């Protein structure tokens, strides 16, 4: 039996991935760029959950939680892209800084 990879490594990678995702979500000038950053952050959280779930082999609660996170992420992206299409139809651009009306 080989020695497992320490938990510390997974946590460092997940922290770095979350920080990069946050930087992407803040700096991109497009709603779709922000969505890509959000996906990176959700993946970092899933990586944490699964890394801890390795030490819970009977119930695997972390993996079950990660499964639900994936489902919610899929639903979120679907609705967000429908909204992006409506916003593009109305404003002619998807830069979030140019959306300055609540009602047309």
Partner 1 sequence: MELAVFYFFAFLALGSAVFILLTKNLMYAAFALFLSLVGVAGLFVLSGADFLAITQLMVYVGGILVLIIFGIMLTRTPDKTDDSQSANRILLNSRRRFWGLTLSISLFLVLIATITQATFRLSGMPIKSRSTIKTLGVELMTSHLLPFEIAGILLLVALIGAAYLALNRSPS
Query: How many angstroms separate the CA atoms of 87 and 52, rounded?
Result: 40
103 interacts with partner 1 by CB under 8 A: no
Size of residue set near partner 1 by CB under 8 A: 73
Q: How far is the CB of 79 from partner 1 (least distance, A)?
A: 5
Q: Segment 45-64, which members bind partner 1 (CB under 8 A)?
A: 46-47, 50-60, 63-64
Q: How many residues does the chain have?
A: 104
Q: Segment 78-97, which members bind partner 1 (CB under 8 A)?
A: 78-79, 81-86, 88-89, 93-94, 97
């Amino acid at each position: 039996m080989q020695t497992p990879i320490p938990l510390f490594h997974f946590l460092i990678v997940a922290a770095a991935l979350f920080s990069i995702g946050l930087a992407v979500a803040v700096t991109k000038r497009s709603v779709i760029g922000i969505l890509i950053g959000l996906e990176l952050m959700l993946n970092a959280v899933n990586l944490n959950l699964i890394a801890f779930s390795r030490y819970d082999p009977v119930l695997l609660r972390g993996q079950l939680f990660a499964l639900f996170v994936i489902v919610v992420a899929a639903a979120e992206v679907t609705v967000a892209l429908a909204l992006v299409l409506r916003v593009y139809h109305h404003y002619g651009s998807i830069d979030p800084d140019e959306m300055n009306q609540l009602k047309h």
